[in-house]
A and B are shown apart, each in its own frame.
Chain A
Amino acid sequence: MASATRPATVRERVADSDRSVGRLLLLSVGALFWSWLVVSWVNRWLGGVLVPVGQPLLPPGAVEATVAAVPGLAAYAADAAFVVDLTPELARGTWLTVVITAVSLVFGFFIAVPLAVSRVYGRFSAWLSLAYTELLRGTPLLAQLFVLYYGLNLASYVPGAFSGVFVRDVVWVAILGFTLNGAAYQAEYIRGALESVEEGQITAGRAIGLSKLETIYHVVLPQGLRYAIPSWTNEFVYLIKYSSLAAFITVPELYYRADQVASETFRYTLIFVVTGVTYLALVLTASKLMERVEERVAIPGLGVEREE
């Protein structure tokens, strides 16, 4: 809670303004990043209404001239132009990275909840759930993707309704792989949170005549899922980064496109620094977003007591 009292000492006041300057900076960088992405995507979907498809939003030549005009930055002008030239490819790859992550995360969640519930409250199903999570968490994700793509050749079985939604049908294979794998990790986090719901909550639910499943649905899950948010956010962040493994089964997401340009231009360092920063921006967005969600759904009087 922000208190209404003014910070007493100068040091505190400086610290206070630092924090808000930092926040403001982060917010504006974030806004810039997402505007660039969204405008690039919309431009492509609408067939190049702002700039021709494949062209950067800002002309590289103009950027180069501007940077060159700044004293001391002249040496970097060419690099800046190169990065600007790169942005259409980055934006395009980021789109798939975002979609694959978001879709897999949501699908995975709906598998993870029953897995976690079975694990905590089931008998036979607890063993099934355990076997599933151990298998998927105990083997390399890349190996799982290879089994789905090369081994089972699933890309050629994508149902008609789904086929053609993405640039390549293999995107569905990646989504399937990340969904199945992510579900196992999400289930572990949710299981831990369910176990932290007090036994008395279940007793009380049963005592008013709710069945075991009804008690889980109406009492345990609403609490457990709230408690799971901080650790679940980890899985969100991991998935953003691990989604780069999709490049190895030819999904043209962010990493794949960066790698392609790099192997054509040999500007590995510059390209992967820029790519890394893009991933970082996605990760920061995700964790800030989940922080907001956590605050929004916090139970009054309980929970999120962040230090200031």
Chain B
Amino acid sequence: MSDDDFLRVTDVSKWYGDEQVLNEVSFEMNRGDVTVLIGPSGSGKSTMLRCVNRLAEAQEGSIRLDGEEVLSPDLDVNALRREVGMVFQGFNLFAHLTAVGNVALGPRRVLGLSEAEARDRAEAQLERVGLGEQFDSYPAELSGGQQQRVGIARALAMQPKLMLFDEPTSALDPELIGEVLEVMHGLVDEGMTMLVVTHEMSFAREVADEIVFLDDGHVIERGPPEQLFENPEEDRTGRFLERIASHD
């Protein structure tokens, strides 16, 4: 692929002890792309995401983000993470901070904004995800959908150039999934570059530029959604998609 790929993952392998969880995984994204990672439980989707912001360490391969080698031992990982936002399945909101406190912490302590600037930025991000009324609520006082939107706002407040989503709606009651997907749709429309692990196939079909199917640490198949959903080349892909569909 060409050198202007914004994110280029090449032959990434990772082991936990003797167990290989990523096996020469490769894919690439352009700026503004949405790539959706799918695959069965334990196939390595979360691990792949976490290698991109170095929450997990890949032992082999290369991950280039905007021309810089992410896996370089000299890389300042905190500087990398400033530019790569992450949204978690379990929200992981800071339990002792209000919604504003959660979103403002990064701008205040990592970007060095003043208290007032950080608060302004946090409020703006919360408005953006539709939580203008919940500035001073604590996580335990919010619904799951609201918590996840705070989680998204927290990541956005760092003004990242890439957003990682690890099953952002899997922990939510069905009636709360929509509000989170709506926020994600909005980000897609704004041109955010997003790498998303999800089982929401209609979302994937609608917004993904490419779908990557992982199984057992291998990329089994990847391509645009129409191709993967309508004419999967691999049996395994088709069977996985059928299984997911029957759950919906």
Which stretch (B22-30, B62-70, B88-96) binds chain A? B88-96
B109 touches A218 (CB 8 A): yes
A207 touches B53 (CB 8 A): yes
A203 touches B110 (CB 8 A): no
Alpha-carbon distance between A207 and B86 when the two chains are bound, in angstroms: 7
Asked if A261 is an interface residue, CB under 8 A from chain B, the answer is no
Alpha-carbon distance between A207 and B88 when the two chains are bound, in angstroms: 10
Asked if A201 is an interface residue, CB under 8 A from chain B, the answer is yes
A208 touches B55 (CB 8 A): no
Select the residue from A201, A203, A208, A211 with max chain B CB neighbours within 10 A.
A208
B94 touches A204 (CB 8 A): yes
Q: Which of B57-108 contact A (CB under 8 A)?
A: 78-82, 85-86, 88, 90, 92-96, 105-106
Asked if A226 is an interface residue, CB under 8 A from chain B, the answer is yes
A206 touches B96 (CB 8 A): no
A218-B105, A299-B140, A300-B138 given as contacts; is B158 within 8 A of A208 (CB)?
yes
Alpha-carbon distance between A245 and B53 when the two chains are bound, in angstroms: 54
Asked if A40 is an interface residue, CB under 8 A from chain B, the answer is no
A204 touches B109 (CB 8 A): no
B155 touches A208 (CB 8 A): yes
Q: Which residues of A contact B139 (CB under 8 A)?
A: 301
Alpha-carbon distance between A200 and B166 when the two chains are bound, in angstroms: 13
Q: Which residues of B contact A59 (CB under 8 A)?
A: none
Who on chain A is nearest to B83 by CB?
A209
Asked if A302 is an interface residue, CB under 8 A from chain B, the answer is yes
A200 touches B110 (CB 8 A): no
Q: Which residues of A contact B141 (CB under 8 A)?
A: 300-301
Asked if A54 is an interface residue, CB under 8 A from chain B, the answer is no
Q: Which residues of A contact B110 (CB under 8 A)?
A: 208-210, 214
Q: Which of B142-198 contact A (CB under 8 A)?
A: 154-155, 158
A209 touches B82 (CB 8 A): yes
A299 touches B96 (CB 8 A): yes
Who on chain B is nearest to A207 by CB?
B86
Q: Which residues of B contact A218 (CB under 8 A)?
A: 105, 109
Alpha-carbon distance between A208 and B156 when the two chains are bound, in angstroms: 10
Q: Which residues of A contact B82 (CB under 8 A)?
A: 208-209
Considering only CB atoms and an 8 Å cut-off, how many residues of chain B contact the other chain?
A: 28
A222 touches B96 (CB 8 A): yes
Asked if A223 is an interface residue, CB under 8 A from chain B, the answer is yes
Alpha-carbon distance between A279 and B247 when the two chains are bound, in angstroms: 65
B138 touches A302 (CB 8 A): yes
A200 touches B88 (CB 8 A): yes
Q: Which residues of A contact B138 (CB under 8 A)?
A: 299-302
CB distance from B194 to the nearest CB of A (A): 15
A203-B55, A208-B154 given as contacts; is B81 within 8 A of A223 (CB)?
no
Alpha-carbon distance between A237 and B155 when the two chains are bound, in angstroms: 44
Q: CB within 8 A of B92: which of A201, A214, A223? A: A201
Alpha-carbon distance between A219 and B85 when the two chains are bound, in angstroms: 18
Select the residue from A200, A209, A211 with max chain B CB neighbours within 10 A.
A209
Write the A179-214 contact mask toward B (1 if CB under 8 angstroms, else 0): 000000000000000000010110111111111001
Q: CB within 8 A of A207: which of B81, B90, B140? A: B81
Q: Which residues of B contact A302 (CB under 8 A)?
A: 95, 138, 140
A209 touches B96 (CB 8 A): no
Select the residue from B78, B85, B94, B110 with max chain A CB neighbours within 10 A.
B94
A223-B95, A301-B139, A301-B140 given as contacts; is B106 within 8 A of A209 (CB)?
yes
A209 touches B95 (CB 8 A): no
A209 touches B88 (CB 8 A): no
CB distance from A203 to the nearest CB of B (A): 6
Alpha-carbon distance between A201 and B105 when the two chains are bound, in angstroms: 13
CB distance from A207 to the nearest CB of B (A): 4
A201 touches B55 (CB 8 A): no
Q: Which residues of A contact B55 (CB under 8 A)?
A: 203, 206-207
B109 touches A210 (CB 8 A): yes
Who on chain B is nearest to A226 by CB?
B96
A206 touches B81 (CB 8 A): yes
Q: Which residues of B contact A301 (CB under 8 A)?
A: 138-141
Who on chain B is nearest to A219 by CB?
B94
B92 touches A200 (CB 8 A): yes
Q: Which residues of B contact A299 (CB under 8 A)?
A: 95-96, 138, 140
27 contacts between A and B (CB under 8 A): A198-B95, A200-B92, A204-B92, A204-B93, A204-B154, A206-B81, A207-B155, A208-B105, A208-B106, A208-B158, A209-B106, A209-B158, A210-B106, A210-B110, A211-B78, A218-B105, A218-B109, A219-B94, A219-B96, A222-B96, A223-B95, A226-B96, A299-B96, A301-B138, A301-B140, A301-B141, A302-B138
Known: A203-B55, A206-B81, A299-B140. 13 other contacts (CB 8 A): A200-B90, A204-B93, A207-B53, A207-B86, A208-B154, A208-B158, A209-B78, A209-B82, A210-B106, A210-B110, A219-B94, A222-B96, A223-B96
